[in-house]
Amino acid sequence: MSTNIRWGIISTGRIAHKFAQATKLLPDADLVAVGSRSKEAADAFGKELGVPRCHGSYEDLVADPQVDAIYVATPHPFHRPNTLLALEAGKHVLCEKPLTVNAGEAAEVIRVARAKGLFLMEAMWTRFLPVWVDLKARLDSGEFGQIAHLQANFGVPMPADEARIHEPGLAGGGLLDLGIYPISLASWFLGKPDKVLSWATMTKTHVDERTAMLFSYAGGSFAMLSSAIDVWTTCEAEIVAEKAWIRVPRFWEAQSYEIVTPDARDVVTKPFESGYQFQISHSMNRIRRGQTESEVMSLDESLEIMKTMDGLRAEWGFKYPFE
């Protein structure tokens, strides 16, 4: 493998564009190939973003000997087959969140990645943003004491005619698109919940429209989380610790946070371009070291988060046709 990591992208949609643009910010990342279900779409993507090798099938992409790692940017139901396709071809994989649509699928792709000794990570890009890296280190150090309460919400109106969001067979609903962000945040800071209470309202197509979740933890901490696909919410995170109150605006793409203590108020700002480049850089560093998993977004944690979301959907009486 070359010093630079040579990337290929499965899909040519919006998220694939963001990933491609982020690679341009990294001198050690080479975006060398893209794969689509049509050669025309792959060629158009390649022309727009300067990708030299354009494949008219995912199979041709993963078979390309010039590619070291694959970014899976397809919709949720295709994460499992696309990730398995890349792993079976001997490629490292960074897969857009959620890793799969249920815990059974997640366990399968994890098992294959480990058996083949290949890097696999769920692309929860928020964890790698400078703001969150800084804040997590400060909280882990004990600077602010134990976390008592975490709150996060993510609500964005989704088009009513967008099939991917509103169709159960396409893993629609707010949980896997938006709810996973606050759930993953709570998991990162507080671990696996001991008890879960939740509520959801459903759309006419029977996918979750609004959710409210209350997690409790053995140490006495709580997390209050919510998502919505029909209304805007503040999209903020708040962490109440023993010695400080912390507010993170637009937490999923945060560029600042505010800390309030009894004696002071401080705003920490860490601006960036794109934001996707941090998870890409993290993945490449681990691949070069020969690591097959990330210590920041571990495969075991991705699996536990999926189990939690499976449990939530079971509470709501909601199972996808392919579960």
243 is catalytic: no
Taking the CA atoms of the chain, what radius of gyration do you get in angstroms?
20
Q: Which two tokens mark 101? A: 């649509």
Catalytic residue among 97, 116, 195, 307: 97
Give me the active site residues, please. Answer: 97
